[in-house]
A and B are shown apart, each in its own frame.
Chain A
Amino acid sequence: MSKEIKFTDDTMALVQRMIKRYPEGKQKSALIPVLHLAQMEFDGWLDAPVMDYVALILNIKPIEVYEVASFYSMFNLKPVGKCLIEVCRTGPCWLLGAEDLVRHIEKKLNIKDGETTPDGMFTLKTVECLAACGTAPVIQVGETYHENMSTESVDTMLNDYKSSGERKTHFDKKHIKTQL
């Protein structure tokens, strides 16, 4: 990673706020929220030096960070595209056509599940039930839920993200200021 690994002042202030939510000496409890912030700040994934940095901030061992980062499905341990397209593949979404959506996206972007487009714009990932089965099939991009999806609405969605070109992460940067 070329740039220096350091949270911006605002993010660091939020990290400090999060640590205070737990009793003295239990700052490790902030690990998962802080890893979300790290993904937001450092290109949507957790490189080893980023995890070491988080360990330093929370005053825990790097292994304690690695074992958590590798357990939870939302933490990316490999680089991802600017937009992570997460398609729900579980029963209720499958009943209403999730497979067709995955196949459609794979064809359209010419990548397979888990891969990133050569321009670095999109990564496709299949995920488990997103707690929105009543509006299946569902796709999550960053913080946004796209519900009742069809191949047509997928096309529109992909075009919109492509033309905006913005990075979409799970924890949207716009919330940092409001939560300080």
Chain B
Amino acid sequence: MGKQLLLENINVQGISTLEVYRANGGYKALEKALKMQQSEVVDEVKKSGLRGRGGAGFPTGMKWGFIAKPEGVPRHLVCNADESEPGTFKDRFLMQNKPHMLIEGMILSSYALGANVSYIYIRGELLYVYHILEKAIQEAYDAGLLGKNILGSGFDLELYVQCGAGAYICGEETALIESLEGKRGNPRIKPPFPAVSGVWGRPTVVNNVETIAATVPIILMGGDEYAKIGIGKSTGTKLISACGHLAKPGVYEIEMGLSTEEFIYSENYCGGIKNGKKLKAVVAGGSSVPILPAELFLKTAKGEPRLMSYESLADGGFATGTMLGSGGFIVLDETASIVKNLWNFTRFYHHESCGQCSPCREGTGWMEKVLHRILEGHGKQSDVDLLFDIQSKIDGKTICPLGEAASWPVASAIRHFRAEFEEYVNHPEKIKDVKHYYNMRNLQPTA
């Protein structure tokens, strides 16, 4: 196992309480940060090479550097705890078990950004975690870690949790901001970027839970030391939430650069495929990233071992590569139907489209219908090309990246598994092997 910076002490009894968290070194990073200049804290994060853990991988220090600082206008830090990307469950795991690590990260990051009121936006389904956070925040207030003049530093911070109510799109940062303002989660057109005009038109930084938590070890060990972990521009550790047909699904903290083969097959990690079956395909970074067949996932097109890093997973571009994304790692064994899996994801994106842009709103629905037709045994030879065509007309033509998130899985599944789609079209009797129960509307049973 590699270094455990985020999951360290996660199994210590009572680590969710302030007392035990502090007894295990908690809030030391905050004490250290509050003795530094705000700009020094930003510099350490820049030096660490930390990249956003919410999916896009944008350098965190650089993002912090963009925040506008108009005189007399409050700024806000908002933590994105909306975690809804299928296959992703690392933020929930961290918040539920170590709520104070997120709170510590929120305080020191707010200090770095000069924010005096910050919010954690958590998805509504996680109300039980909302209550865990509320309790932990109260403990922090009672101990003088939040509120006025934190630890005698002169820095004030109010920290609040706000819950959503079921909408994947609210994970997109501008939709999240709309939701925080009490509106529908309709993404905004950028620019202006949140760093200039975010919540209530004020400069705002939105960061993922894991990103914020990672600032704690970065301040403790120093940005340069953190940057030594990992490989190339993929510095530090990453939480991977592994699920699907695995012997040992769960949340693992890996040092970036671990080989994909070791991650799947080693007993230290996922322990191989469930029930000794063969690996068929992997969706490595949450449902939106391109799916890769086993061979291309374990080795790049050049025949080099594939590594768990932003660069190695993207090696080969979309032709033969994928993305690290959110670290939502979904494994499909030899029995899984790629077509049905794709139908399920497409149905998801159609359901979650906010409806503002016609390519996304209509296109996701068309793709779902065409896939449904194929699964019902009424597919035509031209349907596979039609699907590819629809997705290409969504990609890059929408307000927010949900459009791409819906089109990439379709493009990659056809690119790598075209034969399976054609088999369904040409030999509808084969579909009987696929467990097939739902129809396309609201999953009403067909049989």
Contacts and interface: CB of A to CB of B under 8 A. Distances in A.
A48 B415 CA distance: 49
A32 B251 contact: no
B84 interface: yes
A92 B243 contact: yes
A129 B166 contact: no
Interface stretch (B104-112, B121-129, B390-398): B121-129
Contacts of A143: 127-128, 131
B99 interface: no
Contact of B244 (A28, A68, A95, A172): A95
B13 interface: no
A112 B344 contact: no
B247 interface: no
Interface stretch (B35-43, B56-64, B177-185, B372-380): B177-185
Contact of A91 (B128, B162, B181, B345): B345
Given A72-B124, A92-B244, A126-B442, A133 B330 contact: yes
A36 B182 CA distance: 13
Contact of B86 (A92, A106, A179): A92
Of B74, B125, B242, most buried by chain A (CB within 10 Å of CB) is: B125
Contact of A170 (B127, B158, B162, B445): B127
Contacts of A156: none
B312 interface: no
A74 B442 contact: no
Interface in A1-45: 21, 23, 26, 28-33, 35-36
A67 interface: yes
Interface string B330-373: 10100010000100110010011000000000000000000000
Contacts of A126: 442-443
Given A126-B443, A136-B243, A99 B438 contact: yes
A32 B163 contact: yes
A72 B162 contact: no
Contact of B84 (A91, A103, A112, A129): A129
Contacts of B344: 89-91, 94
Contacts of B181: 26, 28-29
Interface range on chain A (Cβ under 8 Å from partner): 35 or more
A179 B184 CA distance: 26
A99 to B, nearest CB: 5
Interface stretch (B16-24, B87-95, B256-264): B87-95
B297 interface: no
Given A29-B182, A126-B442, A136-B243, A90 B86 contact: yes
A135 interface: yes
Contacts of B135: 178
A36 B128 contact: no
Interface in B98-142: 119, 123-128, 131, 134-135
Interface string B170-192: 00000000011111110000000
B310 interface: no
Nearest to B124: A74
Contacts of A92: 86-87, 243-244, 330
B348 A90 contact: yes
B98 to A, nearest CB: 16
Nearest to B336: A95
B134 A179 contact: yes
Contacts of B443: 89, 102, 113, 126
Contacts of B251: 134
Contacts of A72: 124, 164-167, 185
A158 B166 CA distance: 24
B85 interface: yes
Nearest to A23: B200
A161 interface: no
B290 interface: no
24 contacts: A29-B180, A32-B162, A33-B162, A33-B163, A64-B182, A68-B182, A72-B167, A73-B166, A91-B341, A92-B244, A106-B445, A113-B443, A113-B444, A128-B84, A128-B168, A128-B352, A130-B125, A131-B126, A134-B249, A134-B251, A136-B243, A145-B128, A170-B124, A179-B134
Contacts of A144: 128
A57 interface: no
Nearest to A170: B127
A68 B175 CA distance: 13
